[in-house]
Each structure stands twice: as C-alpha cells, then as structure tokens.
Structure 1
C-alpha cells in the first residue's frame, strides 16, 4: 500500500467517527480552526469539519520555539489558497511569513491575509510600519480597539496587520489596520464561547 493509500485509509477512518460535515468551505484570508489528523515529513493534514482536505507546511505548523502539535491537537491558521482542481485548501499561520515582496503584499491585500510588520516610528496621526521592505502607515484609530494616546511604546514591536489599502507602483502606498484583526479575533472567541454554552447551562 502506498503512502497516499495509507493516508486515504487514515482519513476515511477518521471521518467515519466524525459527525456529518455541513459547514461552508472557508475562503482565502479566513481564519480557521482544525484538528491535526496526520503529520508527514513536509506537510500535515488538518480536518476543518468540511469535505475539502486541508494541508499546511510542517515548517509553518510549529510555534516560535519550533515545537510541533500532536495528532489530535487543535490549531488555528489562515486559508492561503484553494486548489481549483482538487479542492484542497492550503493553510498557513499568516503573520507575513509568506509575504516577501510587493507582489506578496498585493496578494495579501486581495485575499485579506494578515501581514507581519515592524513599527519603525511614530508619524503624524499614526504609526510607520515596515512590511516586506515597504513602508506602510497605520492610522492611530486602527492601532488598537481602544484609543491609544501614546504610540511611542509600539516602536520596535513586530505586529500583525491587515492591509486596508494597497496601491502598487515604484513607491507602493500601504495603509494598515491592527484593529481589524483584534476585532475579528474577539468575535471569533465570542462565537466559540456561545457554541460551547448549552441552552439551560448554569454558569458558576
């Protein structure tokens, strides 16, 4: 039996024990949560509770210290792309690891993928941020979910942002928002909490 057949058998066995899958297929840029069902030499397979397969590079699976999750663990990631031929979803941790140039920034903007940038200074009305070698601007109102009076404390920090405006050319124009990601994360946590709370449950 080949490795592919081995994986197919493993996937069928795993899915046979799971409830019926009726969730919509997530789109590029969406944050997803799934269960690790197999870890290979280069890729890991993730179950998202949908019919489509999902894969993530092992190099992108570990934490900051390089520790990998185990089979059965739950991870969070972003949908990077979808193979139209096979329907397989390609996942990544986001945060700009896959963005290295202007073309990558444009793709991140189109797919609403988070990017990672380093705050290089405080400008009038916001922060200057270096993202993949391009200088971007994050308005003060988009730095956090609450008003921050002193932005100096952010200088030197490496943070994740969403690109809200992208104009290419010799000098790309990049407008960023950290607030959008923070609000999205808060909404997701609230939705997960509601899903865990059963009707009639008594909270202590």
Structure 2
C-alpha cells in the first residue's frame, strides 16, 4: 500500500511539472466557484481559472446552478499566466473543439442521435447537437419534402438524426432526419410484405406509369409493379394504352423478391377471382386467395 501511495505521489509530482501551452485542452476538478470565476485543480503546480464569460455560450447558463465543486471539467488553455500565476482557461472554447471532434466521429459512424428542433428557418429547420447549431434541410426533415408553410409544425419535436456534413472550418453542420425515417419505413414495409403470399388477389390504384410497366398502390404503404407483359394478353407498346393514373385495378401477386411485389393483371383474365369481404378471408382449394390487403395486414397486426 505504501509503495502504491509513493507511485501515485511520484506521478502527481511529475504531472505538476509537465509543459502546458496555449491551445492545450486539459482536465481539472472544480475546487471553487464564485460569482465571476471557477477555480480548478489541474494537477499542476498552480491552479486553473475559468472566468464567467469563458464558461458557456448558453444564455441560460448559471455559474452557481450549472457548476458545482467536484465537477470534472475540460477546458482550453488561453493563457499560461493570468497575471497572478494561474493558468487561464476556457470551457466554452474546449466545448466547441470537443464538440466538432464528436460530430466528426458521428459523421464517420453514421450513428443516429436525438435532437430537439428549436426553430424553423428558410429552407429547413434548426437543431443543436453537441452545442453546435445544425441545419436540417426541408428535403431531409421527413420522408417527403416539407413545404415552407409546414416547417413550423416540426418546432419543439424530437427527431432522430444523422450527421451528413460536419465542416468545422466553416462552422457548417447539416443533419438528416429522413434517413432514419426511411429505414424504419423500409423495415415496416418488409415486415408487411412478409405477410403477403404469392397468389393473393387484391385491388389497388395505379400510381404511376413507366415504359416497362405500372406501379400499383395496394394501400398501407405497399405497392407493386405490374410489368408491361403482365398487364393484358394483348401486346401493347406502353401501359398507357390500357391504364391511366388513378385507375382502380384488380391484381394478383405472382412473386415476392427482395421485399418487392410483382403483380399481374393478365393472370386474372384466365380465372374467376372470388370476391371476399374484408371481414372474412377464404382460400378456395382450387383457386387463388382473394382478399383486401388492408384486411390481411389488419389480421397480421398492422
């Protein structure tokens, strides 16, 4: 025990004579607080002093409420002599340096963090992360672009964001809430797709027409593609020859791959699809399953 105490004592002596220079970030323990400054034990032959104006940028900061004796504090050396032989420090400046280090790490990892949206501004919203003002563009605030007159609806809400730009030199921090929302929507969609079976016959609405086929909205956030070869038995040059956006159509699920639904209208021209209410799902032994997709997903808990 005595040997261990001597080792600790030797380390403290060695530490007290280390070279400290301006710009260094050092750690210390608060040993005193008054109206104008905080005094730190920095394991040095002299004390560290943080003046009130160098404690925080937060206008709501209170030296007596937010700093307590015993707190561990990181601070930047702004002068090795405050005129009285003490090391002059800045917690505010250290916070900013350490914040950008953390923000760069978040950019690298892609980790999601919670922020509270504090205000709406032109083209997006503002949220503070690690004390740094971050901008969330309107295109990254939700799954779809948020119009200017709707931005205020997000103020005060908590969002899970990812850092997509961290530029300390220009003080530019850009965040995205869309990435997390899209991941969650994709997971939910895959889970719903897993409850759909090949052979299901249901109704949907044509949401878009492409050269290669038509996308049909099946409701509940699900959609599928009717390839041009599966629209009808006749050969057509473009889906618009048979379909139009907004049209209600009956489709059959013919395959499910990588969470995507392939649909067919042509397959229904050769069978007599049995209509069934949302309240009752039947699977004819010699035919295809016919039901409302909403009813199917409701039974699955969606």
TM-score by length of 2: 0.31
Structure number with greater Rg is: 2
* Greater relative contact order (CA < 8 Å, ≥ 6 in sequence): 1
TM-score by length of 1: 0.45
